[in-house]
Chain A
């Protein structure tokens, strides 16, 4: 299935959302896998001290020396602690694990000279030999969110189409607009788009309403467009990707430490990621 095209530039995608349970790690893991299957070199960097990647990829917890904490240390020498992911199936997907050791990094970063520019500096001083780098972040925009923002070329915001998540997304946009200026990021990271995640339009009326869809997934003309998320978001010049459906299969797959593609090949849900993967591939190769 390798369809690798010539890569023109490295894309570093930060998956950001300040709402918990919006499907960040699910998106990060599946993007890493699918882009890897297409033949590109992928590195998944976990900035979350919860260490969910270890579950999603069936890895043992990382020690401080074998985690992102080592990269963020002052004396880092370019030797990235890369762990291969799903190595029986793909040979070009790696991770730098986060987890518990990152709790100390937060203090260290805030006391350091370059603060939130630290990860950006590392990746600039010691470029990763990857076509695609993904930052999986915790559900807060504090230290680790800033670290990811400063180091990425693009942002992706998964949002569960619910009120709480919508409020968080508005905060995220304000935060983004202010921080890219405050941090004087040049070039500024771009918002690749928002992607409605964990959507169940069959069961959840609120998902249907906020996305302006009928139960069949068609546009619902009774809902005024300005009261839907995609309309408002596109008004701000941000691309809206097709939705990613909620499925308990993701939960089972994560328990097995596999992407859904390997856990349940042929499952129709895996198609949901294609538009995202296509967009990333386009950025890398065009």
Chain B
């Protein structure tokens, strides 16, 4: 009688491995349901909500196919340069590190596998930046393949990233500004040619609304449903460009007036100010104040202005100066710079002209016959100019 073969190890493990997979999938479904619940509780317009749910379902499918959570070492993870959120102040990182340390990682980050042992972040940059401070060397992650990602609608993905950032954490106005512009271009590629003009285009709309007293309606329109918004946009806009710009801002339920004055003003900042926002999360209002120290305002070259600005910026960050303090410091810098310039000459023609009568009187020019004749001649010439 042949000896009975011993049990197969792979067969012994098969049920456990299936079990683990099923349970991990259940976890993920629960998390996605959670996310959906949160999204549903937000007052989003129905189209966006639908698009979001579609995206999330696609995601869920993808993740199910991939199967399994992975522990990924932090050093193998790279941030996504396309992420709408770029501001990660040290204090926010510290707070997240504390919660990671105390409560653990609530949900897996989503990664896009690149080359071997290299992953790009799709979702979870704050957790990634905080993990090492929390004493973690790895993060739980699920994978999205580049292939699957290509199938997804880029605009919808960015839209979703922007929306979740808007909801989950306070997005810095700087990121909001760049995010909105990007979303406009993704939705309406025709805008790409006039990207830099978008802030001034919005400003033009706002000024026009101010004159026509339409501005007061905006607060309500911002939170109205999509149809009402569309109707209103048709009524007030005079070009497609304007329609596109307003549509994107209103679809995020943001008020164009405050976007115009507090958010878009942060576009096109000098590099040093952009970087201080990214690393220290300096408030938009303070940044705008610092921006006043420019070559143009100081009448010096940009390099010298940048040096002065960086010096004050460092003080602002290190000493946590208040907006008032910054304001007076900026004024002081602008004033001392002006005082140190050459003896004050009237700068433009109208000022020169205005100062002439006073000086003529003081010099009593008409008492000197020669001078008086010359003056009469000059006056005749001047009057001749005006004919």
Q: Would A181 and B23 count as touching, CB distance under 8 A? A: yes
Which residues does chain A contribute within 8 Å of B71, judged by CB atoms?
237
Residue of A nearest to B71 (CB): A237
Which residues does chain B contribute within 8 Å of A9, judged by CB atoms?
101, 135
Q: How many angstroms from the CA of A189 to the CA of B9 in the assembled complex?
A: 26
Q: Would A170 and B12 count as touching, CB distance under 8 A? A: yes
Quick check: is B6 within 8 A (CB to CB) of the other chain? yes
Q: Would B135 and A8 count as touching, CB distance under 8 A? A: yes
Interface string of A199-213 (1 = CB under 8 A from B): 000000000001000
Q: Would B101 and A174 count as touching, CB distance under 8 A? A: no
Of the residues B12, B69, B101, B135, contact of A167 by C-beta under 8 Å: B12
**Nearest CB of A to B146, in Å:** 23
Q: Would B103 and A177 count as touching, CB distance under 8 A? A: no
Q: How many angstroms from the CA of A226 to the CA of B11 in the assembled complex?
A: 10
Q: Would B12 and A178 count as touching, CB distance under 8 A? A: no
**Nearest CB of B to A158, in Å:** 18
Of the residues B9, B26, B104, contact of A227 by C-beta under 8 Å: B9
Of the residues A173, A188, A227, contact of B10 by C-beta under 8 Å: A227
Contact A229 B17, CB 8 Å, known A187-B105, A286-B137 = no
**Nearest CB of B to A248, in Å:** 27
Q: Would A170 and B15 count as touching, CB distance under 8 A? A: yes
**Nearest CB of A to B367, in Å:** 90
Quick check: is A222 within 8 A (CB to CB) of the other chain? no
Interface string of A209-226 (1 = CB under 8 A from B): 010000000000000001
Quick check: is B20 within 8 A (CB to CB) of the other chain? yes
Quick check: is A77 within 8 A (CB to CB) of the other chain? no
Q: How many angstroms from the CA of A178 to the CA of B12 in the assembled complex?
A: 18
The main secondary structure of chain A at its interface with chain B is helix
Which residues does chain A contribute within 8 Å of B7, judged by CB atoms?
163
Quick check: is B261 within 8 A (CB to CB) of the other chain? no
**Nearest CB of B to A219, in Å:** 16
Query: How many chain A residues touch B (Cβ–Cβ < 8 Å)?
Result: 26
Q: Would A235 and B13 count as touching, CB distance under 8 A? A: yes
Q: Would B6 and A170 count as touching, CB distance under 8 A? A: no
Most buried by B among A178, A228, A236: A236
Quick check: is A117 within 8 A (CB to CB) of the other chain? no
Q: Would A173 and B16 count as touching, CB distance under 8 A? A: yes
Number of A-B residue pairs at CB separation under 8 A: 59
Which residues does chain A contribute within 8 Å of B101, judged by CB atoms?
9
Quick check: is A232 within 8 A (CB to CB) of the other chain? yes
Q: Would A229 and B23 count as touching, CB distance under 8 A? A: no
Q: Would A286 and B10 count as touching, CB distance under 8 A? A: no
Of the residues A8, A174, A228, A237, contact of B9 by C-beta under 8 Å: A228
Which residues does chain A contribute within 8 Å of B8, judged by CB atoms?
227
Q: Would B104 and A177 count as touching, CB distance under 8 A? A: no
Quick check: is A91 within 8 A (CB to CB) of the other chain? no
Quick check: is A186 within 8 A (CB to CB) of the other chain? yes
Q: Would A178 and B16 count as touching, CB distance under 8 A? A: no
**Nearest CB of A to B127, in Å:** 13
Quick check: is B27 within 8 A (CB to CB) of the other chain? yes
Interface string of B1-43 (1 = CB under 8 A from A): 0000011111011011101100100110000000000000000
Q: How many angstroms from the CA of A227 to the CA of B10 in the assembled complex?
A: 6
**Nearest CB of A to B145, in Å:** 19
Q: How many angstroms from the CA of A195 to the CA of B20 in the assembled complex?
A: 20
**Nearest CB of A to B101, in Å:** 7
Contact A210 B27, CB 8 Å, known A170-B15, A187-B103 = no
13 interchain pairs, CB-CB under 8 A: A166-B12, A170-B15, A174-B15, A181-B26, A186-B103, A186-B104, A187-B105, A210-B9, A227-B9, A228-B9, A236-B20, A237-B69, A237-B70
User: Known pairs A187-B104, A227-B9. 13 more at Cβ < 8 A?
Assistant: A9-B101, A163-B6, A163-B7, A166-B9, A173-B16, A181-B23, A228-B9, A229-B9, A232-B17, A233-B13, A235-B17, A236-B13, A237-B70
Which residue numbers of B lie inside 8 Å of A, CB to CB? 6-10, 12-13, 15-17, 19-20, 23, 26-27, 68-71, 101, 103-106, 135, 137
